[in-house]
A and B are shown apart, each in its own frame.
Chain A
């Protein structure tokens, strides 16, 4: 018989203090996973003595625009994601994935932080968040660290969250900044700059939640980095990568459309330059591997190719091979191999179509 004490607080500092002082604490947010596990007496649920309810901490419910990323509080519900313009305009795959979660009732309660920290292999938000190279902010009473989501997820239902930590924010970087960071810029220097700018902002005023347009972004970007570049480097690379245009798709296969666990899903994000060469690509299937991750061989095969020259069918087969190389042959492999091949093929065809439609406009 499971026995525990329920603790509840509206203040983050108090929650962190509880975690600091007590042992055997399990965090509770929307409850759409934990209460099911409790009811089913799931072996997945670790033993705990305290259930710490953080669902009333208002400071963890926010969606805001920062300079180079959009930041979401962990208590943002799936419904809030679906209704948010900022996310829809910048990171449509997150919205598409959120729409497929459970039912209206589940989406009203379930949170992005819970979806991440539960770390189910079939977690619906993980593929899009990984595709967008999201980062997580983890705080304890005396520390704060930022980690790429890909490093935070350690395995099926396992994360790097320490027993005294709470996930306090999810940062989804602007696609172009992220691409730049990955490819051209000295990463440490970028980070330093970013931190200084961030502090200034929080001291002066709360960050605004309005959408920045591309021009604004360009201005912000130049202001931030003008001083730190060689000129020729800036002119060539910066202009080149600022011209990237992004296309994306999300697909999910389940037993039925609603209230279903993903049997397989795919988040696909593709950035092409003016010559329609793929410069930036993220291919992240869900429920295909013990925990979702980028399919690197498929990404590498796509990079540098002209959109109209790719072979979606062959890339689908490549994805199936990559999946099996990670999981080995399992009972579900005969189903999942052709299914993932088809998702990748379809996803790429959707992107091809979008690129063609965009050209006509």
Chain B
């Protein structure tokens, strides 16, 4: 089958890839780029474990073909940390015990990050809505919501690292 050439920026690094017609963004990230923080849960857009930020928006990487993405920018959970320092959201997840088995965590973090990038001070309802496409079977969500809330409440200065994040 004919391959498609795609230029993709992932976590600030540029890649030129030749991908097959069935390769999903999820496959590219996990299998080629070894970014295994991206998880496959259901594979049909129900669970949100594969959530990444694509051109500024949270998407299910299982529902996007890499062949569609020439010129796009992707951020995965691996891209949240800057020079060994965790994103405030990651630290908050630790502090609030928002991680149990951890399988949903990368997707959950990316949905939360996408929300805060657009809306630095969301209220509880907006937080719940932002993660409604991410299933968690351990925590019961309360700790996750509280973790996100704790970062949301702190204002821009706490999240500043990420907002000014420049991969180069």
**Chain A residues with a Cβ under 8 A of chain B:** 2-6, 8, 28, 30-32, 35-36, 38-40, 51, 53, 55-56, 79, 102-106, 108-109, 257-259
Contacts and interface: CB of A to CB of B under 8 A. Distances in A.
A31 B21 CA distance: 13
A40 B114 CA distance: 28
Contacts, number: 94
A66 B4 CA distance: 38
Contacts of A31: 63-65, 68
B29 interface: no
B57 A36 contact: no
B68 A53 contact: yes
B75 interface: no
A32 B62 CA distance: 9
Give the interface size class of chain B: 20 to 34
A105 B21 contact: no
Given A102-B45, A259-B132, A259-B133, A108 B59 contact: yes
A2 B134 CA distance: 29
Given A32-B45, A109-B60, A103 B132 contact: yes
Contacts of A6: 2, 4, 21, 65, 67
Contacts of B48: 103, 105
A28 B114 CA distance: 25
B43 interface: yes
B13 interface: no
26 contacts: A2-B22, A3-B1, A8-B70, A28-B68, A31-B63, A31-B65, A35-B44, A35-B64, A35-B65, A36-B44, A51-B65, A53-B65, A53-B67, A53-B68, A56-B70, A103-B134, A104-B58, A104-B114, A105-B59, A105-B63, A106-B63, A106-B133, A108-B54, A108-B59, A109-B59, A257-B132
Interface string B25-66: 000000000000000000111101001001001111011110
A35 B62 contact: yes
A35 B60 CA distance: 11
B132 A79 contact: no
A276 to B, nearest CB: 35
A106 B132 contact: no
B93 to A, nearest CB: 19
Given A3-B1, A51-B21, A39 B44 contact: yes
Contacts of B21: 4-6, 51
Nearest to B64: A31
